[in-house]
Amino acid sequence: MRKLGGVRAPHRKGTADSAPRPIPIPPEIRLPMSMHIGAPAKPIVKAGDTVQVGQLIGEAAGFVSSPVHASVSGKVKRVDEYDAVTGLGAASVVIESDGEQTPYDGLRAPELSDMKSFLDAVRDSGVVGLGGAGFPTAVKLTVKDVSAVDYILINGAECEPYITSDTRTMLDETEMLEEGALLLQKYLGVKSIVFGVESNKPGPIKKLTEFASRRDGIEVRTLPALYPQGGEKVLIYQITGRRVPEGKLPLDIGVIVLNCTTLTAIVKYIRTGMPLVSKCVTVDGSAVINPGNVVAPIGAPLAALFDFCGGLKDDVKKVLMGGPMMGIAVPDTDMPVLKATNAALAFSEKDALLPAETPCIRCGRCVSHCPMGLAPLEFERTYRLKKPELLEKYKVNLCMECGCCAYSCPAKRMLVQYVKLSKIMLREYQAAQKAAAEKKEAAV
C-alpha cells in the first residue's frame, strides 16, 4: 500500500470528557430546506401554522434529497426564500417556539420487515451524513446488488482538531451503534462491518471492541491519529487498501461509509419514530469561555450554543461552523445549527489572523503531505495561467479540500481557495466544451 500523506495537526480534544448537555430551547429557530447534498426540501407549512416536534415541514424533492422536520413546537413565523447558510434562494422555515417541546402526535416507530422497509425508514428519518458531508443516507444505502458490497465502514476517526461530538457518540451510545451494525447486517447482508477509530480515542476503542468481540463480521480497526484519517477516501484506503477512482463512488468498489453518529440517528428513529431534530455539537475555541459538548435543536442559532457555554470573550475575531481544517467561517452567530453541524468554534484575534502569503519556494511539502497524491502547487499555477484543460490532467476533482497542503506550506499559500476556484473554472470549461460539441453536432 502507498504511504498516506496527511499532517499531524494538534488534537486539542479538550472537550472529550464533556458529556453533552441540552441547551435551553431558543425563542426562535430557522430550518433551511437545503441542509443536505441534493435538491432542497419543499416546505409544506405556511406562516401561522402550529407545529410540533418531529412534524414534517419539508418534503424531500426528489431521490437525492431529504425531508426536514420541526425541531421545536410552536408557530411558523414565516417561510422566506433565503438560505442562511449559502445566501442563495433556497427556502427556510422560521418557527417561534412555545417552549413546550410537544412531540408530534403522529409519530410512530417504523415496522421493519425487509430491506425496502428499512430503507424507507432511513429516508423518513431525515438522516443525512452527520460527519459534515450531509449526503442523504437513504441514497447511500440504496444498493441494486447488495452482494457486491464487501464492507460497511463506520467512521469514528473524528480527525479534525477540537471536535469531540462523535467521540461522545461512541462513548455514550455504544449500545445503539451495536444495534445499528446488526440492522445493517440483517437488511443489507454485508460481509464485514468495520469501525475505524483513531488511536487517540482509547475509550471508544475499548467500548466498541467489547461488543465487536461478541459479534461475527464486526471488527474495530485502530487507525493512526493523522489528519485527514476520517476523509472517506482515506478511510477506505487505510482499512481496505482500495482506491476510489476519479468520478466514482465508494459503492463502485464495494464499500459503503457511514459516520458513527449517522448510524445512531437511524437507530433512534427506528426505536421511537422521532426523526432527526437535534444534534450534539462541540463548542470550543480560544474565544469560548466554557467549552463543552451541547445538544441543540437543529435550526438553533449558534449564539444560543455560545451563550450556554458562558458566552464569548471580548476579543473574538472568527467563528467557524465545523472544524478548523474544513469548517466554514460564518458572518455572524445568527447562523443556524444544521443537520451536519458537529462543531461551533470561536477564536480570538491572535488565533484568527491569517499569515501573509509569500512566494512559493517549490519545496514540495504540499505534494508530500497530500493524502491523495496530488500536486496542489500546480492547481494554483494552472488557475493563474487560466488553463483549465491542464486541471483535468492534474485531476483537481480528486482533491477533497482537506487543507493539508495549506497547513504544511511554509509560504502560507492559500491553496484550498485556489482549488475551489480551479474546480469552478474546470466545470465552466467542461460545460462550454459540451455545449460547443452539441452545437457542432446539431449543425451537421
Contact 66, 133 (CB under 8 A): no
Q: Which residue's C-alpha cell is 467489547?
A: 210
Q: What is the dihedral of CA 302, 305, 306, 308, to 10 degrees?
A: 160
Q: How far apart are CA 160 and CA 158, in angstroms?
A: 6
3-state secondary structure of 9: coil
Contact 373, 222 (CB under 8 A): no
Go through the chain and tell me how many residues it has: 444
Q: Give the mean pLDDT per block of 10 residues along the chain (444 residues).
A: 77 96 97 92 96 97 94 96 68 96 96 95 96 89 91 96 97 96 93 95 96 94 94 94 90 95 97 97 98 98 98 95 93 93 96 92 94 93 93 92 95 94 94 91 82
Terminal CA-CA length for the chain: 50
Q: How far is CA 313 from the centre of its chain?
A: 28
Q: For residue 231, which amino acid is it? A: G
Q: Indicate the pTM of the whole model.
A: 0.93
- Give the residues across from 346 on adjacent strands: 319
Q: Class of 11-279 per CATH?
A: alpha beta
> If you ran DSSP here, which 8-state letter would residue 252 be given?
G
Per-residue model confidence (pLDDT) at position 9: 92
Handedness of CA 402, 405, 411, 413 (dihedral sign): negative
Contact 154, 170 (CB under 8 A): no
H-run or E-run covering 115: helix 115-125
